[in-house]
Structure 1
Amino acid sequence: MPKIVDHEERRRAIIRATWQVIARQGIANTTTREIAKEANYSSGVLAHYFKDKADIMASAMRAAHLEVLERVSGTKLTGLAALREYLLECLPLDKRRRLLATIEASFWGQAVGDKRLIEINGRELDALRGRIRDRLAEASQLGELKPDIDIEQAIREFHVLIDGLSVQATLYKGSASRDEQIRMLDRVIERIAADPR
């Protein structure tokens, strides 16, 4: 009787292997051959599930984003508290989240000059900004924001904070510590929060 293949599990295994190879060797040295070896599959198996290395990288990046969403999916928080919880998950605060930041930064390097990957990245960033916008809109309805806050400008600030800290954590030994990152985030939130009554 032929063995039943779980195709989704194979895809997940290849993505996990991609994360491990990037973390160990960096994007420049991450080849489909190395990914296949890490996953204990042949290069032919990878070709069955992904078009090329760029397709693997895009899937790895989406999987990193999905992990963040899964961690906050059961939250009972609302408004600014929910926004803070979500953004903390996006920051490279620990080893796992630094790995996710490395995956993200590696994808950006792969995407430069590739229109298809730039479009994929754009859709992912639009989704990130949409989630921040939804939480800010809820905070506004709850009276948690200063009345003159420009929500789109606040979204840009949060986005820059996430990306900047992620790149630094990936490329710079002197990057901000966990406590420094949290303080930076809290300062941006404090600037837009309504004065306590």
Structure 2
Amino acid sequence: MPKIVDHEERRRAIIKATWRVIARQGIANATTREIAKEANCSSGVLAHYFKDKADIMASAMRAAHNEVVERVAGTKLTGIAALREYMLECLPLDKRRRLLASIEVSFWGQAVGNKQLIAINGDELDTYQGRVRRRLVEAEAAGELQPGVNIDRTIRELHVLMDGLSVQAALYKGSASREEQVRMLDEVLARIVSKK
């Protein structure tokens, strides 16, 4: 009797294989042939689940984002505490999160000049900003923010912090330590939190 294949499970396995190839060999060597080999399948099987390499990279990036979201999904925190928790999950603080940062940075390299991938990245950015905005609005309503805090500017600052640290973690051996990253985040938050 032939084995029944769970298509979503197979897609996830290919995405995880893509992560391993990127982590081990870098984006330039993450060919569909290498990904198929790592996933223990043929290139034909790969083509059944993904249109092309760009589709694989987009799916790998979305899966990385989903992992972050899943880790904070059950939180009981709100406002600034929830924002800090979410940002800590987004930052490349440990080996696993540095891998996710490398996947993100690798995706950006693929996206340059590709309108479809740029649009996907824009959608993911909108989702990230929406999560940060929701927490800042909660904080403002709870009186946790200083009067006159510019929420849009704060969202951009947190986004630049996250992306900058992610690029450094992916490309630079001497990137910021966990402690330095946490301190930088806390300094941004300290500037907007009410002093009362």
Q: Letter of the 2:87 partner, please give it.
A: L
Determine the C-alpha separation between the residues in 2 that align with 1:3 and 1:79: 48
Indicate the RMSD between aligned Cα atoms, in angstroms. 0.5
Q: Residue 70 of structure 1 aligns to which amino acid in structure 2?
A: E
Question: Following the alignment from structure 1 to structure 2, what is the Cα–Cα distance between the partners of residues 175 and 49?
Answer: 36
TM-score by length of 1: 0.99
TM-score (norm: length of structure 2): 0.99
Give the letter for the 1:72 counterpart. V
Alignment of 1:80 onto 2:80: yes
For residues 99 and 30 of structure 2, what CA distance do their matches in structure 1 show? 15
Distance apart, 1:147 and its partner CA: 1.1
Give how far 1:174 is off.
1.2
Q: How big is each residue's C-alpha offset from its partner over 1:68-123, in whole Å with a ceiling of 9 and x where there is no partner?
A: 00000010111100000000000000000000000000000000000000000000
Number of matched residues?
196
Alignment of 1:141-180 (within 5 A): 141-180=141-180
3-state SS of paired residue (1:140): helix
The 1-side partners of 2:145 and 2:99 are apart by 33
Where 1:3 maps in the other structure, the secondary structure is coil
Could you tell me the percent identity over the aligned residues?
78
- The aligned counterpart of 1:45 is 45
Partner of 1:41: helix, strand, or coil? coil
The answer for the alignment partner of 2:95 in structure 1 is 95
The aligned amino acid for 1:189 is L
Q: 2:143 aligns to what SS in structure 1?
A: coil
**1:1-197 equivalence runs, <5 A:** 1-195=1-195, 197=196
- Cα deviation per residue 1:145-183 (whole Å; 9 max; x = unaligned)? 011100000000000000000000000111100000000
Distance 2:104 2:165 in 1: 12
Q: Which runs of 4+ in 1 moved over 3 A?
A: none
How far did residue 2 of structure 1 move? Answer: 2.6
Q: Provide structure 1 residue ranges, at least 5 long, that are not aligned to the other structure.
A: none
The whole-number CA distance in structure 2 between the counterparts of 1:128 and 1:184 is: 19
